[in-house]
Chain A
Amino acid sequence: MYKRIKNSLKLKILIPIIAIFFSIGIVIYIITTNSIKTTLQDEFISKGKAILNTLAASVQETILNRDPSSVQGYIDQYRSVEGISFIIILDENNNIIAHTFYPKVPDEYIKLAERKDDGSKKYSDYLSIEEQVLNDRRELVLSRPILNGLLGHIYMGMGIEKRESEIISPLLKRIVIVMFICILLTGVLISVFLDYILRPIHALTKTAQRYASGDKNIERMPIYSGDAVGSLTKTFYMMIDTITKNTVWLEQEVKNRTQIIKDQQITLINASKMSALGEMAGGIAHEINTPLAIISMKVEQLKESVEENDYTPEEIIKSLGVIKSTSDRIAKIVSGLRFFARDGSKMPTDKVAIDSIVNETFSFCLERMKLHGIKVTVIKEANGSELFLDCRAVEISQVLLNLLNNASDAIDSLSDKWIKVEIRDLGEDAEISVTDSGTGITPDIRDKIMQPFFTTKEVGKGTGLGLSISRGIIDSHQGKFFIDETSVNTKFVMILPKSK
Chain B
Amino acid sequence: MTTQKIGLNKFVLIVDDEKILRDAIQYDFEKKGFTVLTAANGNEAIDILRDNHIDLVVSDIQMPLCDGICLIKKMKIMEPPFPLFLFMSGFSSYTQAEVESMGAITLISKPIDRKEMFRIVEEALAHA
Least Cβ–Cβ distance between B33 and chain A, in angstroms: 15
CB of B64 within 8 A of CB of A289, answer no
- Which DSSP category, helix, strand, loop or mixed, fits chain A's interface? helix
CB of A294 within 8 A of CB of B20, answer yes
Measured between beta carbons, the chain A residues less than 8 angstroms from B1 are 300, 304
Measured between beta carbons, the chain B residues less than 8 angstroms from A9 are none
CB of B20 within 8 A of CB of A289, answer no
Measured between beta carbons, the chain B residues less than 8 angstroms from A295 are 111
Give the residue name and chain of the B residue nearest to A286 (CB): B91
CB of A371 within 8 A of CB of B112, answer no
Taking a contact as CB atoms closer than 8 A, the residue among A286, A297, A322, A371 that contacts B25 in the complex is: A297
Q: Does A285 sit within 8 A of B, measured CB to CB?
A: yes
Q: Does A372 sit within 8 A of B, measured CB to CB?
A: yes
Q: A293-B110, A294-B21 are in contact. Are A286 and B90 (CB under 8 A)?
A: yes
Q: Size band of the B side of the interface? A: 20 to 34
Q: Does B71 sit within 8 A of A, measured CB to CB?
A: no
In the complex, the number of residue pairs spanning A and B with C-beta atoms less than 8 Å apart equals 56
CB of B67 within 8 A of CB of A371, answer yes
CB of B90 within 8 A of CB of A293, answer yes
CB of A289 within 8 A of CB of B90, answer yes
Q: Size band of the A side of the interface? A: 20 to 34
Q: Does A11 sit within 8 A of B, measured CB to CB?
A: no
Residue-wise interface mask of A (283-319) relative to B, using a CB-CB cutoff of 8 A (1 in contact, 0 not)? 0011001101111111011001000100000000000
Q: Does A370 sit within 8 A of B, measured CB to CB?
A: yes
Residues of chain B having any CB pair with chain A under 8 Å = 1, 3, 17-18, 20-21, 24-25, 27-28, 62-65, 67, 90-91, 93, 110-112, 114
Q: A282-B93, A372-B64 are in contact. List 16 more A-B contacts (CB 8 A).
A: A285-B91, A289-B110, A289-B111, A290-B18, A290-B110, A292-B90, A292-B110, A294-B21, A294-B24, A296-B112, A297-B114, A322-B20, A326-B20, A370-B64, A371-B64, A373-B64
Residues of chain A having any CB pair with chain B under 8 Å = 282, 285-286, 289-290, 292-298, 300-301, 304, 308, 322, 326, 370-373
